[in-house]
Every structure is written in structure tokens, then in C-alpha cells.
Amino acid sequence: MVGCEAEVDLAAIAHNVSALRRLRAVELMAVVKADAYGHGLVPGARAALAGGATWLGVAYLPEALTLRAAGITVPVLCWLPRPGDDLAAAIRAGVDLSISDRWVLDDVLAAVRLTGRQARVHLKVDTGCARAGATAARWPELVLAAGKFAGDELDVVGVWSHLANADQPGHPSTDRQLAAFADALDVAAAHGVAPRLRHLANSAAALAVPAAAYDLIRPGIAVFGINPLPVPPPVDLVPAMTLRAPVVLARQVPAGTPVSYGHEYVTTGQTTLALVAAGYADGVPRSVGNRGSVLLAGRRRRISGRVCMDQFVVDVPDASVVAGDEVVLFGPGTAGEPTLVDWARAAGTIPNELLTRVGPRVRRVYR
């Protein structure tokens, strides 16, 4: 390891997918948006497929086209088409598109005319997350408008929605969203729209809300081995990423040495300061300064002072440390290192954000 390195355990990704498939006997769309949550889009997708995923899901069209360019032929859903996206390219590449609004429907129909090919679409209803999806008030109109083209210009593959609070078991809004989804399916059926796939469940719902499974689950974070629930998950999830960085300097300093920008840490005795080659440009959040821990020289040690763009310092009073020593920032936790969940807690965020912020300088190494 020369610099900061993210080791990705592809077998863990495959294992997690297969565990989720066994838990819910429905199709599984592995969500690989944002570079497969920082693990690498194409390797992450292939590992998920090896584990039994039958679909892939992404936010943006270029992500879907990258999967196709890599020769991946399974169904791919792109759920955030943007004004100006080349939807003809999506249709030619056989990418499924989510339709939340009239403008998307119009753009898809224009692309169908341009390509002379049918588009595969999933109609999205907002059941109470207030992100994408037609509101309940506009849903009948969207279904009616899309239904006119079903079987001809459009193959209406799916009807879908997204839960706001599946990571809080027992949250009353989840039952309300389930009921709203059932109503939306009835409205679709009344307008002659009978999708092959009804889907609603992100990782938290796939793990904790059996009634949300319908025909397909859409886990993302759990595919990468992270439990989004505040309670232990019903299946064994193995974290796929281990983040490491080398010590580049180890210096002896006296007591009372103020450390890093702002001098927010001061040594209390004669000690060794290890300078670690990873910073916030690599995805180490600045907020873990004086809060987060790493595994170095045999035990967990607190980061000393502020995290900088390219480096941070760890005070090591009780062990020998030299340049080239390995520092484990986070990993599965099986060798004494902190986990991503520990890091998220220290940083005041969720593991998803930390994974997707592991920077472009960090080399991904696949095992």
C-alpha cells in the first residue's frame, strides 16, 4: 500500500446479496448508484450479480449506460431521468426509466418516436416520502396518460414507490405508505395498468418490513454489508470495504506539543506523533477530528486534532511506530479496527455518506 487504499471484498457483496435473496424470495435489484456506494460501479455490480441479483438500479442515466458499456445485460432501472438526458440512448441501451411526472412521459414518448423502439418504464407514485413520484392527486392522471401507450410505445414493467422511515422499525408512516401503495396499485389496475413488478423496499424495508417486499426488493447499503437498522439484522451482513492508509512520518515530540490546524489537540507527555496519509479529500470527514478512531500499532487510537485535506495525526505514546506502518480507518471490525458504523457515529452522519465520499484519489483494490 503506497497511499490510502479501499480494499473491496467482492465475495462479501455476493454473500450479502445471496443472504437477502434467501430472506425474501423475490427478485432483487442491487442498487449500485454513486459508484456502487463508492465500491466501484462495474465490479460492485458484477459481484452483486454473482450473488443472485436479477436487476441493477441506479439514480442517473450515465451510470446505467456505463453498466451497459461494460457488457452487463441484466435489466437496469434508472430512476432520476433529468431534463436534457438522452433518453433515446437509454432506450437503445435497453435501460428501464422511471416516470414520476408528465414531462418525463413526454420525453420518453419523444425518444420512442426517435428510436422506433418501445421504452420500458416504471411508473412512480409518491406514497409519503415527498421526493420523486407522482403525488396521490396526480397519480390517476399519470396512470391514465401512460396507460394509453401501454403495450405499444411503452412496456409498463413496474409500479413503484419509496419508503421514508423503514429504518425506524414500527414507524407509523410505513404502514400508511404501504396502504397508499396498495391504493395506487388499485388505481393503476382500474386504468388497465397491470405491472409485472411492484417494488417498494430499500435495504431497511427488505430487512425489517416483509409486507414491503412485493415482487422485488431494492437494497443498496445492505448489499455492501452495512445494516441500516438500529437493531441487529435478520441476516448476516459482511461489510465489503476496508479503508487503509500508511503512516508517512513518525516523530518524537515533548509534552505540550500542539497538533494540527487550530491546535485543538495538545500532547500530554513525551510521545510519538504518527502522520497518516489520508484526509478529507480522501473521504475522512473533517468532523472526526479528536473524535474518530483508527487501528494503529495494535489498538484503536483516537485521531489527534483536526483532519486536514491530505493528512491527520495520531498520538501513539505507548508503542513504536515507523513510516510505512499500516493504519486501518474502518473495516468489518473483525481484526479490532473500527467499523463504518463507528465512523458514522463519530462523524454525525450515516455510513452511506461516508462510503460515497471515499475520494477519487483512493485506489480501490479488489479481493
Ligand X SMILES: *Cc1c(COP(=O)(O)O)cnc(C)c1O
Q: Rounded to the nearest whole angstrom, what is the least distance from the CB of residue 161 to ligand X in the complex?
A: 9
Contact between residue 194 and residue 188 where contact means Cβ atoms under 8 Å apart: yes
Residue 131 among known ligand-binding residues: yes
Write the burial class of residue 168 (CB in 10 Å: 0-12 exposed, 13-18 middle, 19+ buried): middle
Q: For this structure, is 37 an active site residue?
A: no
What distance in Å separates the CA atoms of residue 86 and residue 75, rounded to the nearest whole number?
18
Binding residues among 224-263 for ligand X as defined by CB under 6 A: 228
Binding residues among 31-50 for ligand X as defined by CB under 6 A: 31, 33
Nearest to 276 by CA among 5, 40, 9: 5
What distance in Å separates the CA atoms of residue 200 and residue 125, rounded to the nearest whole number?
10
Q: Pick one of 221, 243, 308, 346: the residue that binds ligand X (CB under 6 A).
A: 221
Residue 51 contacts ligand X per CB under 6 A: no
Q: Rounded to the nearest whole angstrom, what is the least distance from the CB of residue 339 to ligand X in the complex?
A: 17
Backbone Cα Rg of the chain: 23
Q: Rounded to the nearest whole angstrom, what is the least distance from the CB of residue 53 to ligand X in the complex?
A: 13
Contact between residue 249 and residue 323 where contact means Cβ atoms under 8 Å apart: yes
Q: Which three cell numbers stand for residue 168?
A: 425506524
Q: Active site residue: 37, 60, 124, 261, which one?
A: 261
CB atoms within 10 A of CB 136: 15
Encode 232-254: b = buried (16+ Cβ within 10 Å), e = exposed. ebebebbbbbbbbbbbbebeeee
Q: Which residue lies nearer to ligand X by CB, 30 or 327?
A: 30
Q: Which residue lies nearer to ligand X by CB, 228 or 331?
A: 228
What distance in Å separates the CA atoms of residue 121 and residue 153, rounded to the nearest whole number?
10
Q: For this structure, is 148 an active site residue?
A: no
Residue 203 contacts ligand X per CB under 6 A: yes
Q: Active site residue: 33, 37, 124, 265, which one?
A: 33
Q: Rounded to the nearest whole angstrom, what is the least distance from the CB of residue 188 to ligand X in the complex?
A: 18
Binding residues among 63-92 for ligand X as defined by CB under 6 A: 79
Nearest to 127 by CA among 159, 161, 102: 161
Residue 29 among known ligand-binding residues: no
What number of helices (H) and strands (E) belong to the chain? Answer: 11, 18
Q: Which residue lies nearer to ligand X by CB, 203 or 311?
A: 203
Taking CB atoms, the residue at the shortest distance from ligand X is 220
Q: Which residue lies nearer to ligand X by CB, 126 or 153?
A: 126
Among 15-23, 105-113, 201-209, 312-320, the segment contacting ligand X (CB under 6 A) = 201-209
Residue 220 contacts ligand X per CB under 6 A: yes
Q: Rounded to the nearest whole angstrom, what is the least distance from the CB of residue 8 to ligand X in the complex?
A: 17
Q: Which residue lies nearer to ligand X by CB, 109 or 223?
A: 223
Q: Pick one of 162, 198, 244, 306: the residue that binds ligand X (CB under 6 A).
A: 162
In DSSP terms, 265 is beta-bridged to 259
Length reported for the chain: 367
Q: Rounded to the nearest whole angstrom, what is the least distance from the CB of residue 327 to ligand X in the complex?
A: 28
Q: For 176, left (φ over 0), alpha (ψ -120 to 50), or beta?
A: alpha
Among 38-46, 147-155, 221-229, 329-337, the segment contacting ligand X (CB under 6 A) = 221-229
Q: Which three cell numbers stand for residue 313?
A: 495525526
**Which are the catalytic amino acids?**
33, 261
Provide the binding-site residues for ligand X, judged by CB under 6 A. Answer: 31, 33, 79, 162, 202-204, 218-222, 228, 352
Residues annotated within the binding site for substrate are 131, 309
